Copies of this chain bind each other. A is one copy, B any other.
Amino acid sequence: MTTIQDLLAPRSVAVIGASDDPTRIGGRPIAYMRAAGYEGRLIPVNPNRSTVQGLAAVPSVMDIDGTIDFALIAVPAKHVAQTIRDAGAKGAKAALCFSSGFAEMGEAGAALEVEVIRAARETGVRLIGPNCLGAFNAETGFIPCFSSALERGAPITGGLAIVSQSGAYGSHIYWLARQRGLGTRYFMTTGNEADVGVSEVIGLMADDPDVHCIMAYAEGIRNGPQLIESLEKARAARKPVFVMKVGRSAVGAAAASSHTASLAGEDAVHDAILRQHGAVRVRTTEEMLDAADAARTRVYPVGNRLGVVTISGGAGVLIADEADARGLDVAPMPEDAQAELREILPFAAPRNPVDVTAQAFNDLNLVTLFLQKMIERGDYDSLLCFWTSVAGSAIMADKLLAAMRAGIAGQKGLLVVQSIIADAAVTKRYTDDGYPVFEDPSRAVAAIDALTRAGMAFAAGRPVMPPVPAPAALPDGPLTEGVAAAALAIAGVPMATAALACSAGDAAALAAAAGGPVAIKIASPDIAHKTDAGGVALGVAPEDAAAAFDAMMIRVRGHAPDAVIEGALISAMAPPGVDLILGAKTDPAFGPVVMVGLGGVFAEVFHDVAFRRAPVTHGVALEMLRSLRGWPLLDGARGAALADVDAAAAAVSALSIFAASQGAAIDSVEINPLRVLPAGQGALGLDALIVRGG
């Protein structure tokens, strides 16, 4: 088992391609490590110099006296594989490769990368990169990194760890954290991720006792299962993982795939899976840094009730808006507690946001009393105090801090955030008392939201996955609708029964047996889009079934003259209900995922669908249904009868278990629609499509 210490705490380092010039890529790490007081052995390797930056150099790795723990590689791409083999021979456990010219540079580069991977596997050397900007361990001053941000000073250690696929952007994030005084214990950029990747490193960082908060930047996920294990390690250790996963937009995803060898996965799927496994996804760099800043408190609210105390009604409204947009609940104080606050201060607005008015600064006891009351009676998971610039004077700060301390006394698990404007020295008094501080109250709300998402993920724990049975073998031959429906029915998805009519006579007989209007659908292994081909007739009376069958055959043959047509499926028309679309597919990074959405245009035009990694329990399936914006349509909106959501959830769960059991044997499954009948009457899949996996 590799640890972060195995990668980033070597006692001896060979710098291969070392430069005497401390401004060059091969020179900077040496200069940085010496400035940072790295105490391990530092061996420059350079065939043309006997000393490098004052250190004795050797011409090649094999000339090194004794063993090395780590190889830092800054030689042309074509020499990297051999360098790794040499380093392995000298005992290196890990290597980091700055060099570019690999998979990011087309086929020839990709071939070189395969060689490098083979060298690393065969020698057991764990490889960071290639094509990466580097890493550091702030505690030991080990800095195999050429980021120019490090020219401005050695890293300051702390509880933060940063891992990024992008070198330049990782470095950008690191330097912004440093400017805020956020100490970074470990920093790593992973470049092409030939071996070590973000998915693994998050877990290594989570395992390290000195790390309490992780920031990750990713463009594409390469190893989904490993990422899940890493996120679950972090969750179990109660360490938040703030993730910037870019490539949300189509244009962003295009940019991502053009510049790295990663393929940005489908964002909606990855978003759901990251959330499912406890990661806290953030949208901007500032949001991530604000969250990490607030995480210094190590207080993670386990509920979303936000109490707001303010001296400005206007700020209260603004905060309530932002909280609402983020799903935090600015729940009102109980009526009687409001009356008690009004007794203390008649012109206060005691509902929540609680406006204690500027009178608070004339009588700081009000601050204490109001906070006490909010904590005792409001049942809030976090508090946001808006004091603006008034709290920025040093004299006022001391008094206000004392008043708050008296009000909050002993509330260890309560997150309390301040929105004030103050200079650095006064701000420090607040942060020293354990309060995150933000000038902009909207940023304060965003940070509370991020910590709340972390806290709720910690409380929820790892999702329970239902057991997956051995896969039922799919029938040989084409997976027509009838075959697909039968396979799904066996798997427990309720499907409407249909029978194959091979002639107009069959159709008439089957329709007569159905005893009412029927649906007639073309049965052909070659026609996936039946409606487009004229292959669907709905609500056909039994007496018209024969004619409808014949007309359909003519239409479909006109549309698809070469298609093999087996006949048409005849089924009784389903009773009215709410139509869902159910789907499952194999995500390249995470494997089987299941999807559910409101049917038809809701899914297509409004993208109102929910995803989870398959399989899901009945409970998670219900949660997926409830997360749809269209949920009120199932839940009896507009006086409609309640739909059988339990049957719908059971179908989603059954489909997810089917997809998980089949794994790569299937590419995708779609049930469109699943007609959900009124409560107690079940659900019926009316059409099914299974596409075999590659």
Given contacts A169-B315, A285-B441, contact A252 B606 (CB under 8 A): no
User: Are the CB atoms of B630 and A312 closer together than 8 Å?
Assistant: no
Closest to A442 in B: B284
User: Are the CB atoms of A260 and B313 closer together than 8 Å?
Assistant: yes
A314 within 8 A of B: yes
- A351-397 contacts to B (CB < 8 Å): 351, 353, 355, 358, 388-390, 393
Assembled-state Cα–Cα distance A347/B285 (Å): 27
A105 within 8 A of B: yes
User: Are the CB atoms of A440 and B633 closer together than 8 Å?
Assistant: no
User: Are the CB atoms of B312 and A169 closer together than 8 Å?
Assistant: yes
User: Are the CB atoms of B442 and A166 closer together than 8 Å?
Assistant: no
Assembled-state Cα–Cα distance A521/B570 (Å): 37
Q: For A557, list chain B residues within 8 Å (CB).
A: none
A316 within 8 A of B: yes
Q: For A169, list chain B residues within 8 Å (CB).
A: 312, 314-315, 318, 388
User: Are the CB atoms of B249 and A168 closer together than 8 Å?
Assistant: no
Assembled-state Cα–Cα distance A571/B32 (Å): 85
A149 within 8 A of B: yes
A50 within 8 A of B: no
Please encode chain A, from 637 to 663, with 1 for each CB lying within 8 Å of some chain B CB and 0 for all others.
Answer: 111000000000000000000000000
Minimum Cβ distance to chain B for residue A326 (Å): 10
Given contacts A176-B439, A442-B286, contact A388 B168 (CB under 8 A): yes
Q: Determine the interface band of chain A, counting residues with CB < 8 A from chain B.
A: 35 or more
A505 within 8 A of B: no
Closest to A531 in B: B639
Assembled-state Cα–Cα distance A440/B260 (Å): 22
Closest to A532 in B: B639
User: Are the CB atoms of B317 and A246 closer together than 8 Å?
Assistant: yes
User: Are the CB atoms of B175 and A324 closer together than 8 Å?
Assistant: no
Closest to A330 in B: B251
A605 within 8 A of B: yes
Assembled-state Cα–Cα distance A256/B247 (Å): 38
Closest to A312 in B: B168
- A209-250 contacts to B (CB < 8 Å): 217, 219, 244, 246-250
Assembled-state Cα–Cα distance A689/B10 (Å): 79
Q: For A604, list chain B residues within 8 Å (CB).
A: 632, 637-638
Minimum Cβ distance to chain B for residue A427 (Å): 12
User: Are the CB atoms of B637 and A149 closer together than 8 Å?
Assistant: no
Q: For A311, list chain B residues within 8 Å (CB).
A: 168
User: Are the CB atoms of B249 and A286 closer together than 8 Å?
Assistant: no
A172 within 8 A of B: yes
Partner of A166, one of B244, B312, B532: B312
Q: For A166, list chain B residues within 8 Å (CB).
A: 312-315
Given contacts A219-B314, A358-B168, contact A252 B321 (CB under 8 A): yes
Closest to A350 in B: B258
Closest to A361 in B: B148
User: Are the CB atoms of A314 and B217 closer together than 8 Å?
Assistant: yes
A552 within 8 A of B: no
Assembled-state Cα–Cα distance A347/B171 (Å): 21
A55 within 8 A of B: no
Q: How many copies of this chain sit in the oligomeric assembly? A: 2
User: Are the CB atoms of B324 and A252 closer together than 8 Å?
Assistant: yes
Closest to A283 in B: B442
Closest to A101 in B: B347
User: Are the CB atoms of A316 and B259 closer together than 8 Å?
Assistant: yes
User: Are the CB atoms of B285 and A440 closer together than 8 Å?
Assistant: yes
Given contacts A219-B314, A248-B325, A317-B247, contact A148 B605 (CB under 8 A): no
Q: For A167, list chain B residues within 8 Å (CB).
A: 312, 314
Minimum Cβ distance to chain B for residue A621 (Å): 21
User: Are the CB atoms of B320 and A601 closer together than 8 Å?
Assistant: no
- A284-338 contacts to B (CB < 8 Å): 284-286, 311-318, 320-325, 330
Q: For A255, list chain B residues within 8 Å (CB).
A: 313, 316-317, 320, 330, 349, 351, 353
- A597-637 contacts to B (CB < 8 Å): 601, 604-606, 608, 629-630, 632-633, 637
Closest to A347 in B: B105
Minimum Cβ distance to chain B for residue A536 (Å): 13
Q: For A71, list chain B residues within 8 Å (CB).
A: none
User: Are the CB atoms of A325 and B421 closer together than 8 Å?
Assistant: no
Assembled-state Cα–Cα distance A393/B355 (Å): 46
Given contacts A389-B172, A390-B148, contact A421 B179 (CB under 8 A): yes
Can you name 23 A-B pairs with beta carbons within 8 Å? A149-B388, A152-B389, A166-B312, A168-B312, A168-B314, A169-B315, A170-B314, A172-B421, A176-B439, A247-B317, A249-B321, A249-B324, A251-B320, A251-B330, A253-B317, A255-B330, A259-B317, A259-B349, A284-B440, A285-B441, A604-B638, A605-B637, A606-B629
Partner-B contacts on A (CB < 8 A): 100, 105, 148-149, 151-152, 164-172, 175-176, 179, 217, 219, 244, 246-256, 258-260, 264, 283-286, 311-318, 320-325, 330, 347, 349, 351, 353, 355, 358, 388-390, 393, 421, 439-443, 532, 601, 604-606, 608, 629-630, 632-633, 637-639
20 additional contacts (CB under 8 A) given A168-B314, A605-B632: A105-B347, A166-B314, A167-B312, A172-B421, A175-B389, A176-B440, A179-B421, A244-B318, A248-B321, A251-B324, A253-B317, A255-B313, A255-B330, A255-B351, A258-B349, A259-B314, A601-B630, A605-B633, A606-B629, A606-B630
Nearest first, the 6 A-B pairs at minimum CB distance are A166-B314, A259-B313, A168-B312, A249-B324, A169-B314, A284-B442
